[in-house]
Amino acid sequence: MKVTVLYPQPLNQEKFESDYNAHLKLLHEKTGIPTDVKPYSITRFLSGPEGKPPFHLMFIMPFESQEQLEKTMSSPGMQEVAADATRISTGGAPTILIGETI
């Protein structure tokens, strides 16, 4: 199971980058993930042949099971992290996708 968060192009990229770094610290704090552990991946999208992509950043975090994902996502700490993701996403609400590797 994976949670994927796609952030649209921000109104101010420099501010978004600063806010996103603080957002990652909040994620670590609220979930108890040690700061030297990164059980997630982050991809920053670049312009391609068709120009600027609709998304700026993609965050992917794997979970061992649907139950673990649901427990984590429903925790008060993760609810705070989700609200912060919406706050920092100035180009529109982030797209959140849940999927499984097949």
pLDDT at 61 over 90: yes
Mean pLDDT of the region 54-77:
95
Q: What percent of the chain clears pLDDT 90, i.e. is strictly above it?
A: 97
* pLDDT at 101 (0 to 100): 86
Name the residue type at position 49: P
How many of the other CB atoms lie within 10 Å of CB of 81? 20
Q: What is the pLDDT of residues 74-95, one digit of tens each?
A: 999 999 999 999 999 999 999 9
pLDDT at 43 over 90: yes
What top-level class would CATH report for the domain 2-99?
alpha beta
Q: How far is Cα 46 from Cα 13, in angstroms, rounded to an integer?
A: 13
